[in-house]
Amino acid sequence: MMETPAQLDIEAVRRDFPILSRQVHGRPLSYLDNGATAFVPEAVLAAVGEQYRAYQANVHRGVHYLSEQSTARVERVRQQVADFLNAEAPEEIIFTSGATESINLVARAFADGILKPRDRLLVTEMEHHSNLVPWQEACRRAGAALDVVPVTDAGELDIEELLRLLDAGPRLLAVTWVSNVLGTVNPLPQIVRMAHAVGCPVLIDAAQAMRHGPVDVRSLDCDFLCFSGHKMMAPTGVGVLYGKRRRLERLPPAAFGGGMIDEVDTQRATWAEPPFKFEAGTPNITGIVGLGAALEYLQSLGLPAVYAREAELIAYAEAQLQERGDLDILGAPARRAGAVSFNLRGLSPYDVAKLLDQLGVAVRSGHHCAQPLLARFGLTGAVRVTPAFYNTREEIDALMDGLDRIAALSQRSL
């Protein structure tokens, strides 16, 4: 029998995030935009400050004490991330500025070293632009074709169509784990098996998935996986690309300069082994240290408790929205995590978000960098709610009260 995860002490957790106590427009802040950027706890702020105060030096170059200490701290986080993802070795972990750069790195490498004219790549209709536009550009540069897996009315991938498109022999499938708009949790273990059965490697955009359940790259058997630190309580400007060692060895580097070379003369250069082959220039050292502190913080809370809390809050938000008769929720996936989007009938999502902001409720509005997905539902925008484990039901209730006030205001103006 599965053990029920321990519950978080929410009041204690909230004290770890001082920004939660501030007011906006004279009202208590209800921050429900964590799918864009999550808040940073004191433990991470302390680690970042310590790096600047005590260890500020470049990495992998100097033999002096501070450089060696800074290098050790970065490489410690590389091992930490490898352990968190259950990667086989730290050499499979590449530090980037975020999921966007991680995906672009692979896309540029495919365009330069793997794709040939008339090859095919495969993406889905629910991708964030960061996991769509780089592949469009890779296909344009290589003369390849881009196929797109459609989304059903329920907001799930059409698995039968995915099978058909895989039969065309794409060189890679790039797919999100959790939709940043619908919250759809895609059946990645099944999808990876289907792709590998026809020899197609898989890149997973896990940016929206990392706080909602365990991520085990060996169990998934994915070829690449990307995520951003700023959705994981880390500073902005740091992210991760995981790649199987044999895949990374085949890829050409996508950026060039110091730190990624083996030997250089005036006419040619050879590359270092992964991961350094893909880490040209000075990395975001302090951001990497902050990422390590964020992972430690989440693990200190108990990851099963974090996952359970996130699931509870999104279920509560969805249930409250479903009770209303004045809005339309996007999609009805069998599994939803992290995000639920809707439109209040007769009002633009931008106006709804601006009015909610005046009431201290922070949500996201617009196309959420997923214009093809919104177009699939005949929309140009929506309001998105993305709670995090430190949020409360009362903050979601504040959202509902705000919607009541907006609806009443709208009726009076008619």
pLDDT tens per residue across span 180-228: 999 999 999 999 999 999 999 999 999 999 999 999 999 999 999 999 9
Domains and CATH numbers, the chain: 10-40+303-413 (3.90.1150.10), 44-299 (3.40.640.10)
| Mean pLDDT in residue range 127-131 | 98
Residue 349: pLDDT over 90 = yes
DSSP 150: -
Q: What is the pLDDT of residue 414?
A: 45
**Whole-number pLDDT of residue 4:** 56
Taking residues 57-80, report their average pLDDT: 94
Rounded distance, CA 75 to CA 44, Å? 17
The tens digit of pLDDT for each residue in 136-185 reads: 999 999 999 999 999 999 999 999 999 999 999 999 999 999 999 999 99
Mean pLDDT on 269-297: 96
Q: Which residues are tagged catalytic?
A: 369
- Mean pLDDT across 15-31: 96
Predicted confidence (pLDDT) at residue 123 exceeds the cutoff of 60? yes
What's residue 288's pLDDT? 98
% of the chain residues with pLDDT over 90 = 95
Confidence check: pLDDT of 411 > 90: no
Q: Ramachandran region of residue 342, left (φ > 0), alpha (ψ -120 to 50) or beta?
A: beta
Q: What is the pLDDT of residue 106?
A: 98
Cα–Cα distance for residue pair 114/121, rounded to 1 Å: 11
Mean pLDDT computed over every residue of the chain: 96
User: Which whole number is the average pLDDT over 45-57?
Assistant: 96
Query: In angstroms, rounded to a whole number, what is the distance separating the alpha carbons of residues 302 and 296?
Result: 10
Residue type at 287? G
Decide if 206 contacts 215 (C-beta within 8 A).
yes
Q: Tell me the residue type at 102.
A: S
Beta-carbon count within 10 A of 71 CB: 18
Sign, Cα dihedral of 339, 381, 104, 157? positive
Confidence (pTM)? 0.96
Q: Which residue has the tokens 């632009």?
A: 129
pLDDT(85) > 90? yes
Please check the confidence at residue 3 and state whether its pLDDT lies above 90: no
**228-245 tens-digit pLDDT:** 999 999 999 999 999 999
Return the pLDDT at 1.
Answer: 42
The helix or strand, by DSSP H or E, that contains position 7, with its residue range, turns out to be: none
pLDDT at 381 over 60: yes
Per-residue confidence band for 365, with pLDDT thresholds at 50, 70 and 90: very high
Question: Pairing mode, if any, of strands 202-205 and 224-228?
Answer: parallel
- CA neighbor of 239 nearest in space, from 230, 248, 252: 230
Query: Going by DSSP bridges, is the β-strand pair 145-149/202-205 parallel, antiparallel, or unpaired?
Result: unpaired
- 196/166 Cα distance (integer angstroms): 10
* Beta bridge pairs of residue 240: 95, 227
**Band (2; pLDDT cuts 50, 70, 90):** very low
